[in-house]
Structure 1
Amino acid sequence: MTIACAQGQGPQAIDTAQAQLLRRTWFFVFAIIQHNLPEGLAIGVGYAGNEGMRANALAIGISIQDVPEGFVVAAALLAVGYSRGFSVLLGIASGLVEPLGAVAGTAIIGSSALLLPWGLGLAAGAMLFVISHEIIPESHRKGHEFFATTGLMVGFVLMMVLDTALG
């Protein structure tokens, strides 16, 4: 706080910046949790539709990408000052929403298969908004443009290879 005051910024500016950082971090955490629900839904639908091989491939692909998601949630919480234990627990808990989605997916397919595309479309649109509005701009701050873009491209190629190999 002393450094900011010496540069002409008051304590109010620091509190506002910290509050904005916390808001962004929690928005990101809830976005990850929210998008894990339709992933579980898709897994449940795959198994309910008696598509065992495709459902297994989907479950494996989603499981692989859930590990880095949990790490990212934990890292984001650590970066804003939460304890290691709390950050790791919330990173793990963010993925535990998927089994709930899988149960819901199985139940929805049993009652009305017509609702499923609408729900998945809304979830996908929400996630695209979060990615384009928050995650991509945040990942390109402070000189990390090359690594962020490279990571996005490598992840995309890896998922396409897995999709082709397993599906």
Structure 2
Amino acid sequence: MGLTELLFVKMTGGNPILQGLLGGIVITLMNTFGALVVLVWHKPSERFLDASLGFAAGVMLTASFTSLILPGIERGGFIPTFIGIILGALALDLADHLIPHSHAVLGYEGLAQTRLRAVWLFIIAITIHNMPEGLAVGVGFGSGDLPNALKLMLAIGIQNIPEGLAVSVSALSAGLGAHFYACFVGVRAGLVEIPLALLGAWAVHIAQPILPYAMGFAAGAMLYVISDEIVPETHRKGHERWATFGTILGVMVMLYLDVALG
């Protein structure tokens, strides 16, 4: 057992639900770190941000398969995992169409709503984006496979850093206030990952038969976010080449983590 595994077991007493909660806190802190970067790096280039989000997409894409879909198939077979993938994608699609929100580049989506301020529409968009990530980490810990869960937590956490920075910068570009407030927007939008990580860990821990469905659900939700939101966002400003290289780098980093961490 590695040092990180020993630390998690010592802090949580081996309780998968507490491990899920701690995992959610870790990835949220890494998102917070990314959001705080805007305080010292006021204006990173759009090309860098698109490449960074491409990197995040590559990590999420690979993690969906190596840490969720394939383990789900091993635990429960193709059909439960595939059902979970479909349900996860449909759930995010439903949220995308029903919940009013606004992206910095893609603009307004969801049901018509004039009462919500622009800042809240933006925060809701990022919150929807972060939900599958927190759920995935929680499901990973709830499965009882600590090495795989830690690997997934690390991967989601790493890609949360450029995401947190991109959120803060996008908040500035959308005219949502000064650097400190934009940073706060980035931090606040990532907080949803903590309760969802806890929910995911609790759900699969008390009902192990739903594990392959839950793994598929988290993967399907992440795949939807990648294809429907991240990739279009990174290809709207003429930096698709850099975003593509970022995606390839993200895939390689996640594959390395998968092999190096066993």
TM-score by length of 1: 0.71
Looking at secondary structure, tell me which structure has more helix per residue.
1
Give 2:225's match in structure 1, choosing from 112, 116, 130: 130
- Structure 2 residue 209 is the aligned partner of structure 1 residue 114: yes
Query: Which residue in 1 is equivalent to 2:196?
Result: 101
- Structure 2 residue 108 is the aligned partner of structure 1 residue 23: yes
Bigger relative contact order, structure 1 or 2 (CA pairs below 8 A, ≥6 apart): 2
Query: Which residue in 1 is equivalent to 2:250?
Result: 155
Map 1:39-78 onto structure 2 (within 5 A): 39-46=136-143, 49=144, 51-78=145-172
Q: For the structure 1 residues 105 and 36, does the alpha-carbon distance in structure 2 shift closer, same or farther, using more than 3 Å as the test?
A: same
User: For 1:131 and 1:160, how far apart are their aligned partners in 2?
Assistant: 18
User: For 2:196 and 2:243, how far apart are their aligned partners in 1?
Assistant: 29
Bigger CA drift: 36-45 or 19-28? 19-28
Q: Greater Rg, structure 1 or structure 2?
A: 1
User: Where does the alignment leave 5 or more consecutive residues of structure 1 unmatched?
Assistant: 1-17
- Structure 1 residues 29-83: Cα deviation after superposition (integer angstroms, max 9, x where no partner): 133222233133234325xx1x443333332222222212211222222221112
User: For 1:109 and 1:37, how far apart are their aligned partners in 2?
Assistant: 14
Deviation of residue 22 (structure 1)? Answer: 4.6
Query: Which residue in 1 is equivalent to 2:131?
Result: 34
User: Where does the alignment leave 5 or more consecutive residues of structure 2 unmatched?
Assistant: 1-102, 110-120
Q: Contact between 2:136 and 2:219, CA under 8 Å: does it hold in 1?
A: no
Question: Does the residue aligned with 1:114 lie in a helix, a strand or coil?
Answer: helix
User: For 1:128 and 1:45, how far apart are their aligned partners in 2?
Assistant: 21
Bigger CA drift: 103-112 or 22-31? 22-31
Deviation of residue 154 (structure 1)? Answer: 0.8
TM-score by length of 2: 0.48
Q: For the structure 1 residues 99 and 44, does the alpha-carbon distance in structure 2 shift closer, same or farther, using more than 3 Å as the test?
A: farther
Bigger CA drift: 62-71 or 94-103? 94-103
